[in-house]
Amino acid sequence: MSTHEGKIAIVTGGKQGIGRGVADLLAKRGAKVVLVNREKASDAASSIGNNAIAIAADVTQQADWANVAKEVEATFGRADILVHAAGIYPMASLDQMTPEEWRKVMAINLDAHLLGARAIVPLMRKAGGGSIVAIGSDAVGMVTPPGMGFSHYMASKMGVIGLVRALANELATDNIIVNAVHPGITDTEGASGMPNEQKAQVYMQQAIKRLGTPADIAGPVAFLTSDDARFVTGQTLVVDGGWMRL
């Protein structure tokens, strides 16, 4: 399938996990992929192929985003797609959590979405439009098992919903659509710190009783960044094996 032929797709957190799954699929469908990662992901870019490139950047820093935009513009002249897959999944109870830990989660899981949009939207306007997809979490609908301790994580992902809706409204006149994909528990490096018994407590309540994979999430992201989704904006697509059916 060549649904993304010639499109310029920026993917944060594209070195591994969901971001890597998204980058692989978009490249396979014809996109020129730009991996944005704290550590430059040149090996991942080479593995993805189709002239993918890697840019080292801290997604919580506006100056780094300005550099990403500058490099993308110099290399491709525009941007068509921005997928925010960078995120962290720490666990800390209310009593254990420090203000610094709270701010770190908010900076990576929420602030970075706004900073990225500020930097990349001008390049989408040059292209005549584009698509932004934020990777959220079905945790926003969870009644979590006791002891999971991730109120900072849930708060950051709830913020993503509000930001997506606001940006969808604001950017519609620029022909830019903005949506979110909310995965369930996915078998990635980022979820490795969650005890297996707690993962099982959650996914055994799903209709499909297994962990999701990056490929399970990449397909819906590919749809939302394709021309087939040009009339879809401000929406949240839950991809969690049927957990939120409950």
Of the residues 65, 76, 89, 153, which is catalytic? 153
* Distance, CA of 208 to CA of 240 (rounded, Å): 8
pLDDT of residue 194: 64
- Range list of β-strands (E), the chain: 8-12, 32-37, 53-56, 81-84, 130-135, 176-183, 236-239
Please give the residue that has the higher pLDDT: either 191 or 19.
Answer: 19
Tell whether the model's pLDDT for residue 142 goes beyond 70.
no
pLDDT above 80: residue 140: no
- Say what percent of the chain tops pLDDT 70: 88
Question: What integer pLDDT is reported at residue 210 of this predicted model?
Answer: 78
Q: b or e along 34-56 (b: 16 or more beta carbons within 10 Å of the residue's beta carbon)? A: bbbbbebbbebbeebeeebbbbe
Each residue's pLDDT tens digit, 174-214: 999 999 999 877 766 666 566 677 667 777 777 787 788 89
- Give the whole-angstrom CA distance, residue 36 versus residue 48: 14
Residue 74 neighbours by CB distance under 10 Å? 8
The upper half-sphere exposure of residue 5, i.e. CA atoms within 13 Å in the direction of its Cβ, equals 3
Burial profile 167-204: b = 16 or more Cβ within 10 angstroms, e = fewer: bbeebeeeebbbbbbbbbbbebebbeebeeeeeeebbe
Q: Report the chain's mean pLDDT, rounded to a whole number.
A: 89
The pLDDT of residue 16 is 86
Please state which of the four CATH numbers 3.40.640.10, 3.40.50.1820, 3.30.565.10, 3.40.50.720 is assigned to the domain occupying 8-237. Answer: 3.40.50.720
CA 126: distance to chain centroid?
23
Could you tell me the pLDDT band of residue 40, with boundaries at 50, 70 and 90?
confident
- Determine the average pLDDT of the residues in 17-38: 95
* Predicted structure pTM score: 0.91
- The token duo for 48 is 């993805």
List strand residue ranges (DSSP E) for 7-59, in order: 8-12, 32-37, 53-56
- Checking if the pLDDT of 149 tops 90, the result is no
Note if 153 is an active site residue.
yes
The one-letter amino acid at 187: D
Q: How confident is the model at residue 1 (pLDDT cuts 50, 70, 90)?
A: low
**Contact (Cβ atoms closer than 8 angstroms) between residue 215 and residue 233:** no
Residue extents of the structural domains in the chain: 8-237
According to DSSP, residue 212 is labeled B
pLDDT digits over 209-236, tens only? 778 889 999 999 999 999 999 999 999 9
Q: What's the pLDDT score for residue 192? A: 59
pLDDT at 143 over 60: no
pLDDT tens track for 152-180: 888 898 999 999 999 999 999 999 999 99
